[in-house]
Amino acid sequence: MTSLTREDLKTEQPISWCPGCGNFGILRALQTALVDLKIPREKYLVVTGIGCHGKLFNYININGFHGIHGRVLPFATGAKLANHDLIVLGFAGDGDQYDEGLGHFPHAARRNIDVKLFTHDNKVYGLTTGQTSPTSPQGYKSKTSPGGAIPTPINPLMLALASNASFVARGFVGDVTHMKELMKAAIQHKGFALVDILQVCITFNRAQTYQFYRDRVYKLEEENHDATDLQQALKRSRETGDRIPIGIFYQEERPVYRARLPQIKTQPLIKQPIKPTKLKQLLREFT
Ligand code: SF4
């Protein structure tokens, strides 16, 4: 198969997301990005975590792995290092990635593991019915913070930039075409790519709505942002009030992790011969 249609990418699974959920926009952007890129679907692997976002695994007809909470990046990293011909697309929630999975995030970024991470950042735990998440704004009221969230939220873009991520972007589910272009750019980038997506949870987050973001988002590319300038990127990443930037904050080319790892530098594990003698020795050691 050399090209894909959106129909090819659909599955027969009934979609159980709440009507109007921002996840529909992410699924649509992903489908159209893959159609545009014209890469055989066998080349892709989708890895999802736990949360409403994780159901995306059931709704896109390409190879996938639905893992455990917070572990999208370890699974994606392992798959990529074992078979670096794969294009590995990780999908995680804000609680999934920036809470349970936070420790994996800066290390994947600084190592420049060649995986793409798309976070459904709706600033609430949706699947478990609306608890405060690590990206919920200060003062955010939920069943776990009825008096308002006390800590300041994690800023995923600042964290990614401070961890030397080589591609850092933000999308918004209310602009699917723009998000699709960000996904394509992330997929085509050689190295670790983060696209933090402002995803709307219409059921449990009544503060960060579609209208809330429509009143605030602006596109970096329309304001002469220089995505090769780290200082500019850091400055833009701190804008969180009445103006919220979307687009590519930062991008640089630098060697991916595997290119510096002698054992897999020239070919992935999947293409390396297994030497039976060594395997026997190894088995003897463990029996
Ligand atoms: Fe979407 Fe929120 Fe419903 Fe989950 S609970 S499907 S995130 S609207």
* The pLDDT value given to residue 245: 98
- Distance from the alpha carbon of residue 106 to the mean position of ligand 1, in angstroms: 27
Residue 204 Cβ inside 6 Å of ligand 1? The answer reads: yes
* The pLDDT value given to residue 272: 86
Which residue, by CA, sits nearest to atom 1 of ligand 1? 21
How do the domains of the chain map onto residue ranges?
Answer: 23-286
Distance CA 74, CA 42 (A): 21
* The pLDDT value given to residue 2: 58
Q: Is the pLDDT of residue 1 over 80?
A: no
Q: What is the mean pLDDT of the chain?
A: 95
Residue 57 Cβ inside 6 Å of ligand 1? The answer reads: no
- Distance from the alpha carbon of residue 197 to the mean position of ligand 1, in angstroms: 14
Q: What average pLDDT does this structure show over 127-152?
A: 96
Low-confidence winner among 88-97, 117-126, 128-137, 277-286 (lowest mean pLDDT): 277-286
Q: Which of 120, 122, 133 to mutate to test the pocket of ligand 1 (most atoms within 8 A of CB)?
A: 122
Residue 122 Cβ inside 6 Å of ligand 1? The answer reads: yes
Which residue, by CA, sits nearest to atom 6 of ligand 1? 17
Q: Which CATH architecture has domain 23-286?
A: 3-Layer(aba) Sandwich (3.40)
Residue 203 Cβ inside 6 Å of ligand 1? The answer reads: yes
